[in-house]
Amino acid sequence: MLIWLLLTEYPPTVHSKSYHRQLRRQNILGKTIALLLTMQIFLIAFQAKSRIDQGNSSIESLIWMTQQYISVLVKIRSLQDKREKNDSPKLKSKR
């Protein structure tokens, strides 16, 4: 759900070409960040499986995996907050 919010686009408005280029770059950057965070989550799960295969208990691996996921979720939330902060002045200027 959080990654979907990073990929969400706002409806287009009438602006200059440079503004649209900037939005396009930000959109590509947002999608790249979302992809990298998704890959990080996948790698955490893969590493947890490897830890279990190496003899760590399932509970220890689950605790480790949860700790790793929390740091990813904190990064996602930080990115959401930055995006909302950056978007709020734009919304005010449109009114």
> End-to-end CA distance of the chain, in Å?
29
The stretch 11-34 carries a mean pLDDT of 79
Residues 48-59, mean pLDDT to the nearest whole number: 95
Q: Rounded distance, CA 53 to CA 55, Å?
A: 5
The pTM (predicted TM-score) of the whole model is: 0.63
Q: Taking residues 60-69, report their average pLDDT.
A: 94
Instruction: Give the whole-angstrom CA distance, residue 56 versus residue 58.
Output: 6
Quick one: what percent of the chain has pLDDT higher than 90?
39
* Residue 80: CA count within 13 A, CB half-sphere: 14
CA distance 55 to 77: 34
**The pLDDT value given to residue 30:** 84
Residue 57 pLDDT grade (very low, low, confident, very high; cuts 50, 70, 90): very high
Calculate the CA dihedral of residues 45, 46, 52, 53 and round it to 10 degrees: 170
Q: Any residues with CB less than 8 A from the CB of 45 and at least 6 apart, and which?
A: 65
Of 51 and 34, the one with more pLDDT: 51
